[in-house]
Amino acid sequence: MALLKVSSIQKSFGAKSLLNEVDFELQTGEILGVFGRNGSGKSTLLKILFGTQTAEAGVLKVNERYYPVRKTIWHKSRIIESQQIGYLPQFSFLPQRVKVWDIIPQYLKGQEQDLVFQAPRMPKIAGSKVGELSMGERRYLEVLLIGNLDHPFLLLDEPFSMVEPLFKDLIHEFLISLKTKKGILVTDHYYQDVWQLSDRKMVLTSGKLTSITQPEELIQAGYLRSIY
């Protein structure tokens, strides 16, 4: 089992405090769902953990190794090059004019590459260019690529947004299968998908993460007006 521990993350933009003493733990074998309104700081938090954005303060620890989250010359390289955390950004990162079967070998080799080529629905789209794929096909491909990397932790920013039901189901199934060897953090405005998938839930309000267990707490946190 691997453990990712995040403590006292603080992030501001000018005079606006976005993240204030954010704390949580994530271990392999579980899926953590994070909820929050637009602008609450969810995407910023994931970028800080991955290493493409810095924080004013905080600690990121994977097992017994510490990684800086503040702005230092080593910040980006130490977190990313450690290959501890995989990250799916909110927006597509794949080149639109390249065929799927040419993209997969750029990310994966050997058995992991075969797992993507042989995944459900993949043989039907492997000869297509990324720009020709539907939203669901493209997001499914991206999740497969990032998920099959050799990282014990996976951060997913809106994997279900604008995705057709068929591919939502495939992403769900794939993430559940990954849970046996990874710790997964997922956030998405399609809250039902995240709620159904997650073993634990937290909501980000006023810059802090709070654990929740009932859907009604999303209303109390100001995230939803109704759960119906």
3-state helix, strand, coil in the chain (%, to 5): 35, 30, 35
Return the pLDDT at 72. 57
Return the pLDDT at 196. 96
DSSP class of 118 = T
Return the pLDDT at 77. 52
Average pLDDT of span 203-221: 94
DSSP class of 13 = E
Higher pLDDT, 227 or 217: 217
Return the pLDDT at 74. 47
Q: Is the pLDDT of residue 23 over 90?
A: yes
Nearest to 55 by CA among 187, 206, 207: 207
Return the pLDDT at 67. 85
Return the pLDDT at 80. 64
Q: Is the pLDDT of residue 226 over 90?
A: no
| Domains of the chain and any CATH numbers | 3-91+149-220 (3.40.50.300)
Average pLDDT of span 201-218: 95
Q: What pLDDT, in 10s, does the model give residues 24-82? A: 999 999 999 999 999 999 999 999 999 889 899 999 999 988 888 876 544 555 666 67
SS3 35: strand
213, with CB counted inside 10 A (0-12, 13-18, 19+), is exposed
Return the pLDDT at 173. 97
pTM over 0.85: yes
Higher pLDDT, 127 or 1: 127
Q: What pLDDT, in 10s, does the model give residues 125-167? A: 999 999 999 999 999 999 999 999 999 999 999 999 999 999 9
Q: Is the pLDDT of residue 22 over 70?
A: yes
Q: What pLDDT, in 10s, does the model give residues 101-123? A: 999 999 999 999 999 999 999 99
